[in-house]
Amino acid sequence: MSKWKTEKHFTCWLGLAPNTHQSGTSFKKRKISNSSNAGQIFRIAAQTLVLSKKNAIGAFYRRIQSKKGKLTALKAAVRKIAVCYYNVMTKGVDYVEYGIQQYEQKMKYLQKQAKQLGYSLAPMIT
């Protein structure tokens, strides 16, 4: 893992970073380079995790999917998993899965705070 200086270098090598011909929603056509097959391993892992209703990665995927679409959300979930892997392997940081309960607790806290300020939270419909 010492080949990559930072997690950004690692995710770029996996083919999970935007290329120089991409900015926001605009995308200039260019030949797709052959990225590492290691990126496929993370993609397969993400595809199985996003189907689960009980983990934080699945909740993250669904939140991004509602805003940006399925492909962008999947790529974001894959990148999140790759960054966690990089941190575990290089820094020895333990990965702890808190699950969907922590996500729901944050939402309850935000609803309580909004109520105290005289507001109410409602889901956005796009």
Residue 122 structure tokens: 């409602």
Task: Give residue limits of the domains in the chain.
Answer: 7-99
Picking from 98, 83, 89, 87, the residue whose alpha carbon sits closest to that of residue 42 is 83
Question: Is the entire prediction scored with pTM above 0.75?
Answer: no
Residues 6+ apart with CB under 8 A from 121: 107, 110, 111, 114
**pLDDT tens-digit profile of 4-48?**
888 888 888 888 776 666 566 665 655 545 456 778 888 888 888
